A and B are shown apart, each in its own frame.
Chain A
Amino acid sequence: MKTEDIKFKQKASQRIYNDYMKRIKRATASLSKINQDDIYMEFNSHIFEAIQHKNEANELDSLLDIIEKLGSPEEVLKPLVADKKLEQATKTFNPVHVFNALVLNFTNGISYILFSILYLFLFGFVVLILAKIVNPSLVGLFMKKDSLSFFVLGIFNPQDMAKNQVTDVLGNWFIPVMFLSIIIFYFIITLLLKFKKSINQKTHS
Chain B
Amino acid sequence: MNETFVANWKSQVKKGTLTFIILNVLKNNEYYGYELIEQIRKHTEIEIAEGTLYPLMNRLKTEDLVESKWVEQETGIPRKYYSLTDAGIETLAQMNIYWANLEKSIKKIIQ
Partners in one complex: yes
Contact check, A48 vs B72: say whether CB atoms are below 8 A apart: no
The A-B contact count (CB < 8 A) is 76
Asked if A77 meets B55 with Cβ closer than 8 Å, knowing A45-B78, A45-B79, A71-B50, the reply is yes
Query: Which of A1, A39, A75, A205 contacts B78 (CB under 8 A)?
Result: A1
B63 at the binding interface (Cβ < 8 Å)? yes
Chain B residue numbers with a CB within 8 Å of A84 are 58
* Chain B 56-94 interface mask (CB, 8 Å, partner A; 1/0): 001100110100001010011111100000000001000
A43 at the binding interface (Cβ < 8 Å)? yes
Interface residues of A in 79-132 (CB under 8 A from B): 79-80, 83-84, 87
A6 at the binding interface (Cβ < 8 Å)? yes
Contact check, A87 vs B62: say whether CB atoms are below 8 A apart: yes
Chain A residue numbers with a CB within 8 Å of B52 are 71, 76
Chain A residue numbers with a CB within 8 Å of B55 are 76-77, 79-80, 83
Bound CA–CA A46/B49 (angstroms): 13
Chain B residue numbers with a CB within 8 Å of A146 are none
Query: Which of B51, B59, B62, B77 contacts A48 (CB under 8 A)?
Result: B77
**Interface hub of B35, B38, B78 (most chain A Cβ within 10 A):** B78
Q: Which residue of B lies closest to A78 (CB)?
A: B55
Query: Which of A46, A79, A201 contacts B33 (CB under 8 A)?
Result: A46
User: Interface on A for B, CB 8 Å cutoff?
Assistant: 1, 3-4, 6, 38-39, 41-46, 48-50, 53, 69-71, 73, 75-77, 79-80, 83-84, 87, 201, 204-205
User: Could you write out 29 A-B pairs with CB less than 8 Å apart?
Assistant: A3-B78, A38-B80, A41-B70, A41-B78, A42-B33, A42-B54, A42-B80, A45-B79, A45-B80, A46-B33, A46-B34, A48-B77, A49-B33, A49-B34, A50-B34, A53-B38, A69-B49, A71-B51, A71-B52, A76-B49, A77-B55, A79-B55, A80-B54, A83-B55, A83-B59, A83-B62, A201-B62, A204-B59, A205-B91
